[in-house]
Amino acid sequence: MGNSFGQLFRITTWGESHGGGVGVVIDGCPPRIKLTAEDIQRELDRRRPGQSSIVTQRDEPDRAEILSGLFDGQTLGTPIAILIRNQDADPEAYKKIVNIFRPSHADYTYEAKYGIRDWQGGGRASARETIGRVAAGAVAQLVLRELFSQFELVAYVTQVHEVTAKIDSRRVTRGDVERNAVRCPDEAAAKMMMQLIDRVRSEGDSVGGAIECVIRGVDPGLGEPVFDKLDAELAKATLSLPATKGFEIGSGFAATTMRGSEHNDQFETRDGRVRTNTNFSGGVQGGISNGEDIVFRVAFKPTSTIAREQQTITSAGEATTIAPGGRHDPCVLPRAVPMVEAMAALVLCDHALRQRAIRVEERT
Amino acid sequence: MGNSFGQLFRITTWGESHGGGVGVVIDGCPPRIKLTAEDIQRELDRRRPGQSSIVTQRDEPDRAEILSGLFDGQTLGTPIAILIRNQDADPEAYKKIVNIFRPSHADYTYEAKYGIRDWQGGGRASARETIGRVAAGAVAQLVLRELFSQFELVAYVTQVHEVTAKIDSRRVTRGDVERNAVRCPDEAAAKMMMQLIDRVRSEGDSVGGAIECVIRGVDPGLGEPVFDKLDAELAKATLSLPATKGFEIGSGFAATTMRGSEHNDQFETRDGRVRTNTNFSGGVQGGISNGEDIVFRVAFKPTSTIAREQQTITSAGEATTIAPGGRHDPCVLPRAVPMVEAMAALVLCDHALRQRAIRVEERT
Amino acid sequence: MGNSFGQLFRITTWGESHGGGVGVVIDGCPPRIKLTAEDIQRELDRRRPGQSSIVTQRDEPDRAEILSGLFDGQTLGTPIAILIRNQDADPEAYKKIVNIFRPSHADYTYEAKYGIRDWQGGGRASARETIGRVAAGAVAQLVLRELFSQFELVAYVTQVHEVTAKIDSRRVTRGDVERNAVRCPDEAAAKMMMQLIDRVRSEGDSVGGAIECVIRGVDPGLGEPVFDKLDAELAKATLSLPATKGFEIGSGFAATTMRGSEHNDQFETRDGRVRTNTNFSGGVQGGISNGEDIVFRVAFKPTSTIAREQQTITSAGEATTIAPGGRHDPCVLPRAVPMVEAMAALVLCDHALRQRAIRVEERT
Amino acid sequence: MGNSFGQLFRITTWGESHGGGVGVVIDGCPPRIKLTAEDIQRELDRRRPGQSSIVTQRDEPDRAEILSGLFDGQTLGTPIAILIRNQDADPEAYKKIVNIFRPSHADYTYEAKYGIRDWQGGGRASARETIGRVAAGAVAQLVLRELFSQFELVAYVTQVHEVTAKIDSRRVTRGDVERNAVRCPDEAAAKMMMQLIDRVRSEGDSVGGAIECVIRGVDPGLGEPVFDKLDAELAKATLSLPATKGFEIGSGFAATTMRGSEHNDQFETRDGRVRTNTNFSGGVQGGISNGEDIVFRVAFKPTSTIAREQQTITSAGEATTIAPGGRHDPCVLPRAVPMVEAMAALVLCDHALRQRAIRVEERT
């Protein structure tokens, strides 16, 4: 259990990194949404390996096949099943670590939980698992665009190790983000990040960083107190991604050193509607969207797989060393950008549908 | 929707801050757990207002009545309903803000979502809503103690505004925490925190801070990839608490500036079992507990209610000012400690039961 | 687990027959529905014991207290908690059966499942558990009346033992049903039923029967294939009531001896909309409402508690005899009518909200 | 929504009858269950068209491909995705009914619900949708056999139109059932059923009937009061199958004409354990299994598709006639037997896991 996400727009992902493929079933997509395989492929291409020199060189075309739920180019309201075959799987490369627990990987914990694990490439703990999420997130974004005419969703790298970028979350566009391979819209910082990633890779090491995500144009009223608050759901959604260590919304951890008199977002009437004059809340108050930009950040650890030799133990408990090799990202951040966007879209779409079920203006 | 939490150990909370009371129904508690009203009361007393000079002086005894699910001092396996009546409710105090949106409160968003709100004291957005969580968390802790003989769960304040404490998460006990009113086990820091809180209150302002939580003695194997990962669930659980802005586990945001070679927790055999020699993972790898201490931190914003005058608007959109008065905490941290513990216990208990359903050793 | 029902209009019931009370929490009720305690009381009074000479004489006023979710006579969109205290509980009467498994009761199975049971009056297996359902069903009916202006829901007794009634499901009203204590709108049959129930009681025995339920005026389109079909959900809902043994919709078991050429409901245009000229489908096709009357029937067994002596065993496995005595219904049917209506209303309301989330006409 | 079933052993089916295929994702299957594609194929072959002269002649090999969740012949505890491609799809045959609502089919209700439908062969309302259920049911049966050493599950046709069979539910085996094409273990009745089906087909008509299912060897204690009672769940599970109209357990509708003194199952100690001397309860009391055989029956209507001309309307509301032709079953019963078994296995497996999570004997 645990492979489904969402209440009304509900996805179930499946697949190991080296089995027959990976995929997703979307249940609850509203009918009559225009959808093509290309809409999905566009997002998968942003996530896929081998897209630039700074990411893993595993060669996976990651072609999505839509198996159901579509008719004449529109959704039917029935489950949308999407299949992506694995192709460049290389189980041989993993044979030497069959009985070794890689440090900070999920090898040991999967063994402890299930008493069995697929040692070929990480199984479900592989980043390949996120393909289904990204495919479903592409569909969620189409739904959101139909529900909210002003809807925009942009994530971007704000930090790689100690290189931090300056980005105005109110203005950044997806075009800005896609301008470079590291997906950081601050060009100067991006250049330094790419150099750093190259250097780290050459040293057989890896680095972490942070991604920020901004969502514009959703109505006030999304989010379901008290447990399914919008911020709580975004946190769960993004921290279910591999390699994540932290989440903050609006002021985030910086709020800990602020006073109420600084932090409170004062209301005003602007553009003919209720607005706040600051946005420390990050677009969510009491767990419900307030119409301001929703802004959150996610912390990623350095990739666990590094070329350097490390101490570890075998599954029999004996000390050994490991130097994995294989094809890996020295920094997951650039490819994680579409993953964060997908998870955000899934949360927003689910809550938009949940709000439709009870919303007031439709009954009166 | 959104007032239930958990899959197998599932709680549903209800109640507004100024209605007939607040409460919780626990569905899925295993049978034959010894439970008394006193077990619950002990935790509620740690949460309740008026317990010390640095918290709100609203006078609520918060006496829990267990209405069902108990027989001869043991749980029946049937739903446990717990009722806490509201007593010191003072709706009159709120009459002056009936039509005013308090800055950074949930007044506006509830209005936007539901088209109606209980303006008396915050309704569901009040911290009183957490009473049901704390009551249920007390039950969850009893279950966890029965399932894991070494189980320990301790949360504590590590930071109030710019005062930060030095605490060894591996050794801190609940006794250490309860030694002072601010619930910070570093006595020197605690003293400074209390002085700061007093000063801030006298200035009509408020402050934020951080709470750390450590969980010891749970088995490896808890957590359900890929969406219900243990860390993702802890994040959702704690970020569903009022006034929270961020969550991090293990290395957290500090991981963003680390290299893989530093960050990886190397495995070793110690104490006759699999251990890691560092714990940057925070006790969770691939979303599953690895047997190390689970350590996470939660950021809290400064309380939104402050005595100072602020700009805001009426529900008709007209500019006005507000200086709420009323009885409020200048710093929510001390009373949030048992809330964080409760949410952590609920997540752990739920996942312990989920793992029992499939665990391997029982079938062979 | 298992004490919640519904996806969007979700209820959780709690309480044993002889504990502090029984109750329900409704999560997901839309905001701004007019609701008073009297709306709920009216339905509870139809369910409560002691209302006529043919039902159990246990004296329970069953007064409902609404604890939350209501403000100024309207729902808030937050959880509605309803509490009904137990009053005429008589645990002493049960002391003689502490260690005896009553035939066809749930004593043994609760013991087998939980390893503990509340022997005072049946615990959760008591018909008192249905109070929460009936209270929630009253709220669901208010919502349905707001959503569908033509909404009508009427259940009635069609059979008691071998006495069967003639009732035109297309025309029967709740007024017809309430005209007599047995809740059978065929007055001649009702009279025979009442005589039979009286005689059976005097013989220390009990009888079963059947209830039919008709729902009019709901839109086509309710029901969620493929598992949450409207008929499947109605079946689960009603067969979760105590003493039920069977469910059928439309033609039901009679369909087994029909041919397709007789059974198919042919479409026609009537009253300006799509109609069928027969209704063997019972208002549901492919699991989705088609706009015709939804008509289903539920079979009830004779009450398990009878005054006559019966063979059974003790919890230690030794043969013994039992003659329970106590206050019980010789026939559950009359009081089961509002229970069936409540469960039907809960299903319909939940599916009406589910359909609102995706419905087409609102997006275009 | 509505395409998932089960709480812990949870399946999600997808696919239209004429799209890229159909399939299922199983989430929550315990790890280390031995499983091969052949285990699944065996059940699919019992369901597939073209297997005998009395079923539809559509030629679908229905080969199952297991895409994930399996490693070295054992389940991993991760999602098991199963894909079955559509092959003999013939959309051309449906072109003449693009704008016609077939009587007692789901054409109109899908249109009403979604505003769009796949007119090629029934879409999700096609019996092809059940392939995923049967595949998942095969896995559930493997799990149940591992959990309960005496587990047996047998369904069979007891009635086709007015031909009824005599079958002793306590002794019937799957071998008995598979002996003839109609899957009725009473050979004399089976012969008459086959003749009847042949005749009905030649007359361009169809017939209904009933299937009984018996489950032996499961522990007492399965089923989750009060809503997820075992009998309520079996009802929902089977009434979510196409063409079903009724469900009854144990005495079923016959209970309506019984007295309590006849109907009560008296307890005795037999074979060293608690038994009842009759089984009118059908193995379930208070919604929980009592260790006796679980016996239930499902009513099926005559197939809606018949060769005879019928009155109906177009989607524009105009009167027309239809004589579908195509390849269809004159009687769905023989192929519905493995479907009923699959749904029963899914319910039992889910509840066995749910009971493991809380069961008493493991904690003491």
Residues in A closer than 8 angstroms to C8, CB to CB, are: 8, 354, 357-358
Residue B329: closest CA among A225, A231, A260: A260
Which of B88-102, B237-251, C231-245, D299-313 is the least confident region?
B88-102
C146-175 tens-digit pLDDT: 999 999 999 999 999 999 999 999 999 999
Calpha distance A108→A111 (Å, rounded): 5
What residues in C contact D235, CB-CB < 8 Å? 232, 235-236, 239, 247
The crossing angle, in degrees rounded to 10, of helices C333-358 and C37-47 is 140
Interface of B with A in 133-172 (CB under 8 A): 159, 161-162
Name the DSSP letter for residue D4: E
Model pLDDT for residues B45-63, shown as the tens digit of each residue = 999 988 888 887 777 889 9
Contacts of D268 in chain C (CB under 8 A): 311, 313, 319
Contact: A223, B267; criterion CB under 8 Å = no
Distance, CA of D113 to CA of C287 (rounded, Å): 11
Position D362 pLDDT exceeds 60: no
The answer to whether residue B325 scores a pLDDT higher than 80 is: no
Spatial distance between the Cα atoms of A224 and C28, rounded to a whole number of angstroms: 10
Mean pLDDT of C52-59: 79
**Whole-number Å distance between alpha carbons of B204 and B223:** 43
pLDDT of residue D364: 43
* Partner residue facing C353 (CB), from A28, A31, A357: A357
Interface with chain D: mutation pick from C110, C222, C238, C261, highest number of D CBs within 10 Å: C261
Residue written as tokens 């679908």? D60
| C101 pLDDT higher than 50 | yes
User: For residues D206 and C258, is the Cβ–Cβ distance under 8 A?
Assistant: no
> Within an 8 Å CB–CB cutoff, is residue D72 touching chain C?
no
Q: How far is D213 from chain C (nearest CA, A)?
A: 15
- Interatomic CA distance for residues D238 and D258, integer angstroms: 26
Exposed / middle / buried, residue C317 (Cβ in 10 Å: 0-12, 13-18, 19+):
middle
Partnered with residue C14 across adjacent β-strands are C23
Q: Give the pLDDT confidence of D240-249 residue by residue, as tens digits.
A: 999 999 999 9
Structure-token match 């009679």, residue found:
C254
The residue in chain B having the minimum alpha-carbon distance to the alpha carbon of residue C72 is B118
Number of continuous H segments (helices) and E segments (strands) in chain B:
8, 18
What are the C-alpha distances in Å from B249 to residues B144, B198, B222, B238? 21, 31, 16, 12
Residues 289-328 on B with a CB inside 8 Å of C are none
Q: Does D114 touch chain A (CB under 8 A)?
A: yes
3-class secondary structure, B157: strand
* B22 at C interface, C-beta within 8 A: yes
Instruction: Return the pLDDT at C267.
Output: 98
Strand partners, A210: A159, A299
pLDDT for res B120: 84
CA distance B237 to B10: 12
Distances (CA, A) of D167 to C7, D46, D171, D176, D297: 40, 21, 8, 10, 13
Lowest-confidence segment of B209-213, B292-296, D169-173, D306-310 by average pLDDT: D306-310
Q: In sequence order, which residues have a C-beta less than 8 Å from that of residue C28 and are 6 or more positions away?
A: A357, A358, B1, C6, C8, C9, C10, C353
Residue A21 amino acid letter: G
Angstroms from A180 CA to nearest CA on chain B: 20
The model's confidence at residue D361, banded by pLDDT at 50, 70 and 90, is low
Among A354-358, B259-263, C359-363, which is the least confidently predicted range? C359-363
pLDDT digits (tens, 9 = 90+) for C62-98: 999 999 999 999 999 999 999 999 987 677 778 888 9
The mean pLDDT of B18-38, rounded to a whole number, is 96
How far apart (Å, rounded) are the C-alpha atoms in residues C85 and D282? 34
Q: With an 8 Å Cβ cutoff, is D15 touching chain A?
A: yes
Kindly list the distances between the CA atom of residue A97 and the CA atoms of A129, A208, B263, in Å, as whole numbers in the listed order: 21, 24, 20
Which candidate from A245, A258, A261 shows the least CB-CB separation from B252? A245
Pairing status of strand C244-249 against strand D244-249: antiparallel
For A263-277, give one letter per residue: b (16+ CB within 10 A) or e.
bbbbbeeeeeebbbe
Query: Is C123 an 8 Å CB contact of chain A?
Result: no
Taking CA atoms, B167 is separated from B154, B332, B336, D162, D288, in Å, by 12, 20, 18, 80, 50
Q: Is C21 left (phi over 0), alpha (psi -120 to 50) or beta?
A: left
Instruction: Say how far apart CA C117 and CA B75 lie, in whole Å.
Output: 9
CA proximity to C255, closest of D164, D125, D243? D243
Is A147 in Cβ contact with C363 (below 8 Å)? Answer: yes
What pLDDT score was predicted for residue C325? 64
Share of chain C above pLDDT 90, in %: 86
Banded pLDDT at D140 (limits 50, 70, 90): very high
pLDDT tier at C324, thresholds 50, 70, 90: low
A13 interface with D at CB cutoff 8 Å: yes
pLDDT of residue A144: 98
Q: State how far residue A150 is from chain C, nearest Cα, in angstroms.
A: 15
pTM for this prediction? 0.98
Q: How many CB pairs under 8 A join A and D?
A: 152
Contact D47, D149 (CB under 8 A): no
Q: How do beta strands A244-249 and B244-249 pair?
A: antiparallel
Contact B17, B359 (CB under 8 A): no
Side-chain-side CA neighbours of C115 within 13 Å: the count stands at 14
pLDDT band at B364 (very low <50, low <70, confident <90, very high): very low
pLDDT of residue C49: 85
Whether ipTM exceeds 0.95: yes
- Residue C284 in 3-state DSSP? strand
Query: Which chain A residue lies closest to C32 (C-alpha atoms)?
Result: A360
Residue pair B4/B26 in contact (Cβ under 8 Å)? The answer is no
Token duo for residue D226: 């009060």
List beta partners, residue A259: B207
CA distance A115 to chain D (A): 7
**Residue A70: strand pairing partners:** A75
Q: Do residues B167 and B180 touch, judged by C-beta distance below 8 A?
A: no
Q: How far, in Å, CA of A101 to CA of A113, rounded?
A: 14
Assign D326 a pLDDT band (cuts: 50, 70, 90): low
- Please judge whether C79 and B14 are an interchain contact, meaning their C-beta atoms are less than 8 angstroms apart: yes
Q: What is the dihedral of CA C137, C224, C75, C156, to 10 degrees?
A: -20
CATH-assigned architecture of domain A4-362: 4-Layer Sandwich (3.60)
pLDDT digits (tens, 9 = 90+) for C308-320: 999 999 999 999 9
Residue A287 contacts C, CB cutoff 8 Å: no
Decide if C353 and A358 are in contact by the 8 Å CB cutoff.
yes
Q: Are C223 and C351 in contact (CB under 8 A)?
A: yes
Q: Mean pLDDT over residues C255-265, rounded? A: 98
pLDDT at C89: 67
Contact state of A358 with C147 under an 8 Å Cβ cutoff: no
Question: In this structure, are residues C348 and C284 in contact, taking their beta carbons and an 8 Å threshold?
Answer: no
Closest residue to C362, CB basis, from A78, A362, A364: A362
Nearest CA in chain D to B351: D357
- Token readout for A178 is 């896609």
B277 burial (CB, 10 Å; 0-12 / 13-18 / 19+) is exposed
CB of A71 within 8 Å of any CB in chain D?
yes
Mean pLDDT, each 10-residue run in order, chain A (364 residues)? 97 94 98 97 92 80 95 97 88 84 96 93 90 98 97 98 98 97 98 97 96 98 98 98 98 98 97 96 98 98 94 95 79 97 98 92 50
Contact yes or no for B358 and D28 at CB 8 A: yes
A333: which chain B residues are within 8 Å (Cβ-Cβ)? Answer: none
Nearest of C238, C225, C221 to residue C295 by alpha carbon? C238
Segment C221-226 mean pLDDT: 98
- For residue A200, whether the previous peptide bond is cis, meaning omega lies within 30 degrees of 0, is no
| DSSP code per residue over D339-364 | HHHHHHHHHHHHHHHHHHHH-GGGT-
HEC states along chain A? Answer: CCCEECCCCEEEEECCCCCCCEEEEEECCCCCCECCHHHHHHHHHHHCCCCCCCCCCCCCCCCEEECCCEECCEECCCCEEEEECCCCCCHHHHHHHCCECCCCCCHHHHHHHHCCCCCCCCHHHCHHHHHHHHHHHHHHHHHHHHHCCCCEEEEEEEEECCEECCCCCCCCCHHHHHCCCCCCCCHHHHHHHHHHHHHHHHCCCCECEEEEEEEECCCCCCCECCCECHHHHHHHHHHCCCCEEEEEECCHHHHHHCEHHHHCCCEEEECCEEEECCCCCCCEECCEECCCCEEEEEEECCCCCCCCCEEEEECCCCEEEECCCCCCCCCCHHHHHHHHHHHHHHHHHHHHHHHHHHCHHHCC
Residues 6 or more apart in contact with residue A144 via CB below 8 angstroms: A151, A153, A218, A345, A348, A349, A352
